[in-house]
Chains A and B, each alone.
Chain A
Amino acid sequence: MDVELILSSLWPLIQGAVTGTIPLALVSFVLGLAVALLAALARLSPRWWLSGIARFYISVIRGTPLIVQLYVVFFGLPSVGVTIPSWPSAIIVLSLNVGGYAAEIIRAAILSIPRGQWEAAYTIGMPRWLALRRIILPQAARVSVPPLSNTFISLVKDTALTSLILVTEMFRKAQQIAAFSNEFLLLYIEAAVLYWVICLVLSAGQGTLERRLERHVA
């Protein structure tokens, strides 16, 4: 075992995580949540065309592989004159991808809030939008924390796929060092361990968050 290589490659990999993997996951998750909220509300809309668009979007995202989505945007679109660099491509695709999955989570969470909460909101004079914003969504947010945390952890791991569209995140760094040093097993295991550590930290955070939110839920 080449201890020196492990130590010398550790820093570039951590750099890859801090400047690539983690910001990519965070930005995509925040944008994805915004997309997901809109898609969930559209899906619940009584207007058939609006819920139809949302249904179509969610179906396409969930029915196609993430790697194919990345390839379509990064390698496919330039042939029709739309060239988007690696990073923006990765953020767009990951956001839309998370949006599709999280939309279903948020929709289910909204539907899980008892009808009496809507009625109580209407009774105190709230119109539909205010009831949604003040009464329903805050409760739905609590309900959706556990499944959304899982989505985020999956997203962190999925960022590795963006190495294939040349984003220099942690896994691409590992590939480069491996090719250079010819130590494939070592570097890929090292990358795996680092992903695992990140996910362990996130899981612990998820547990804390859930315990805090468990209070005062009906």
Chain B
Amino acid sequence: MSPDPITPPPSEAETVLDVTGLAKSFGSTAVLTSVDLTLRAGRVVCLIGPSGSGKTTVLRSLNGLERPDGGVVRAPGAGLDIDFSGPVDDATRNRLRDLSAMVFQQHNLFPHLTVMQNVIEGPMRVQRRPREEVIAEARSLLERVGLDARRDAYPSELSGGQQQRVGIVRALALRPRLLLFDEPTSALDPELVGDVLSVMKDLADEGWTMAVVTHELAFARDVADEVLFLDDGVVLERGAPERIFTAPREERTRRFLERLMRPF
């Protein structure tokens, strides 16, 4: 897919992750045929598309939750250059995973741990950072999403929107280079969506590098630097959000957007 001539690609920013030809099949079903994607420092990429188009699989591949069958993932800052068409050892896959942190659709908080324990588990048990430092950082992150007072609560005692904000803090606490959001608001009651989106917008404004799978077109339009429309495992169209949303070139993009904006 050629870059959009109307909006110049934001090439001045450092490349965090560069993906070319990402492919993945489950059995005989090809979920991703060939996906190219570049994530640059401080930029937000939104992946949109119908369900089953492969957008979630892209994120999961970047976080090592799926093993792609093909494609090259480069992370210049981390000295990673992984060719998934060959064997990839665990150590390499873990280094790729360490670059990013994931926020799930169903928050996937650990129900047997408190909010604070959920947040510090990774930094303490995995990254082995000092306890005081981790807790202080966790508290300030929780403070920022308005949940420091609930740090001793269990996830089941929180609302859906609060749970998802804890999910975001858990990801931030890992100090990743890159944040991956997999439909973070799709499982929420409509009145709780705004809380989560506004936290995400703040993160984007602060300069976090983000890849977001979402159906929230208003969010994508407002926050994304680039929008990718995926259909049937390929990026059918990509470009600046204003261009994609106002003048989609592909018929299928146009139909998809129409359906989302006027569902009935």
B174 within 8 A of A: yes
Number of A-B contacts (CB under 8 A): 66
A125 within 8 A of B: yes
A126 within 8 A of B: yes
Give 26 pairs: A residue, B residue, CB < 8 Å, sorted on A: A114-B108, A116-B104, A116-B106, A116-B108, A119-B108, A120-B102, A120-B108, A120-B109, A120-B110, A123-B65, A123-B102, A123-B171, A124-B121, A124-B126, A124-B170, A125-B94, A125-B97, A125-B122, A125-B126, A127-B94, A130-B125, A134-B125, A215-B156, A216-B155, A216-B156, A217-B156
A137 → chain B closest CB, angstroms:
10
Chain A residues numbered 192-210 whose CB sits less than 8 Å from any CB in chain B: none
Interface 1/0s, chain A 140-159, versus B by CB < 8 A?
A: 00100000000000000000
Residue tally, chain A, CB below 8 Å to B: 22
B112 within 8 A of A: yes
Residues of B within 8 A of A114 (CB): 108
B220 within 8 A of A: no
A135 → chain B closest CB, angstroms:
6
Chain A residues numbered 100-141 whose CB sits less than 8 Å from any CB in chain B: 114, 116-117, 119-127, 130, 134-135, 138-139
A218 within 8 A of B: yes
B64 within 8 A of A: yes
Residues of B within 8 A of A215 (CB): 154, 156
Q: Which residue of A is nearest B98, CB measured? A: A125
Q: Is the CB of B65 within 8 A of A139?
A: no
**Assuming A124-B122, A125-B94, A125-B122, is B111 touching A217 (CB within 8 A)?**
yes
